[in-house]
Amino acid sequence: MFFEIALAFKMPTGLHPPEGRLQQHHRPARNNNTKSMKRSFHQPALLGASVCLLTLCPEARAAQLLVNGGFESGSLAGWTVEDQAGGSGSFFVSTPGASTPLSGFPTAGSAANGSFYAVTDQTGPGTHALLQSFTVEPGASSVTLSFDMFVNDSTGNSIVDPAGLDFNAFPNQHARVDILSAGAGAFDTGAGVLGNFYLGSDGSGAPHDFTSYSFDITGLVGAGGDFQLRFAEVDNQGFFNHGVDNASIVTSAVNGVPDGGSTLALFGLAAGGLAAARRGLRLI
């Protein structure tokens, strides 16, 4: 009932409460001066109560933790590229639908992916990693990793050697997506890998369309800290094109939740203000 009165009292000009709601509490005013004084006294009380109640409503705040995730700068700005020494090729910026820059293999176009994306290409065996560091503040209520990706393997058969991301280990041809610890090396596939989200290739039938992926990684990074997102591939069996676009890590946190003592105090103040407003409505 208190909330009904508070909401009705704050109605914009021109709106009226339903019949029989506030009118049942009205009594004839004794004189105009008394009526004016009581209104000026109780409106601040009701306003204070409303402010108190609003401060108890948590507010969700979302933040994008990556930069240039869609490569729409036309470059790899914000990202780090690492290529294993002695290998061929790297990550490049290209346009969806265009042939790959070194081998000239076709790629599937997709208007949904903007004007640019990142892709690996080579003329011989190699290992390539595309990384970006990010920081999660402690207490994140949710953290979501998403990206669009294709993996075109000219052999149509991915092979994962136990050596990991090393083109000197034969045979070895696959792509992977990982969350790494802050101190992990670019080609780490051991203790530095906190979570793996793709391992292999898209099989035969290239060129493949972009596939959209989304993962809840709150349990992995939600406690906060510094991390790395990595897209990587190794190839020593044939041409291999690993395309990445729209990489995103979004975190949400709840703001404005007071501690226990503040909550009790605010509830007390809100209840007092609403009670005063209720008495005022009966007297006016």
Strands 240-255 and 142-153: antiparallel
Considering the domain architecture, whether residues 140 and 36 belong to the same structural domain is answered as no
pLDDT at 90: 99
Q: What digits encode the pLDDT tens for the residues 196-227?
A: 999 999 999 999 999 999 999 999 999 999 99
| Average pLDDT rounded to a whole number, residues 68-73 | 97
Strand order in the sheet with 80-83: 80-83, 126-136, 225-235, 173-181, 193-200
- Least trusted range by pLDDT, from 3-12, 62-71, 181-190: 3-12
Considering the domain architecture, whether residues 159 and 242 belong to the same structural domain is answered as yes
Given a cut of 50, is residue 48 above it in pLDDT?
no
Considering the domain architecture, whether residues 87 and 26 belong to the same structural domain is answered as no
Is the pTM value of this prediction over 0.85?
A: no
Task: Find the domain containing 190 and state its range.
Answer: 61-254
43 domain-assigned: yes
- CA pair distance 228, 183, nearest whole angstrom: 9
Q: What's the total number of domains in the chain?
A: 2
Task: Among 38, 57, 76, give the residue marking a domain's end.
Answer: 57
Confidence category of residue 272, pLDDT binned at 50, 70, 90: low
The whole-chain average pLDDT of the chain stands at 80
What token pair was written down for 222?
A: 């939600």
Task: Among 17, 39, 57, give the residue marking a domain's end.
Answer: 57
Considering the domain architecture, whether residues 111 and 35 belong to the same structural domain is answered as no
CATH number at residue 149: 2.60.120.260
Task: Among 57, 73, 105, give the residue marking a domain's end.
Answer: 57
Considering the domain architecture, whether residues 67 and 36 belong to the same structural domain is answered as no
Considering the domain architecture, whether residues 94 and 198 belong to the same structural domain is answered as yes
281 domain-assigned: no
Given a cut of 80, is residue 126 above it in pLDDT?
yes
Q: What digits encode the pLDDT tens for the residues 16-32?
A: 333 433 333 443 444 44
Q: What digits encode the pLDDT tens for the residues 49-66?
A: 444 444 455 566 899 999
pLDDT at 214: 99
- Least trusted range by pLDDT, from 71-75, 77-81, 230-234, 273-277: 273-277
269 domain-assigned: no
- CA pair distance 160, 165, nearest whole angstrom: 9
Considering the domain architecture, whether residues 114 and 42 belong to the same structural domain is answered as no
| Average pLDDT rounded to a whole number, residues 109-132 | 92
174 domain-assigned: yes
Considering the domain architecture, whether residues 43 and 117 belong to the same structural domain is answered as no
284 domain-assigned: no
283 domain-assigned: no
Considering the domain architecture, whether residues 27 and 130 belong to the same structural domain is answered as no
Q: What digits encode the pLDDT tens for the residues 216-260?
A: 999 999 999 999 999 999 999 999 999 999 999 999 986 654 444
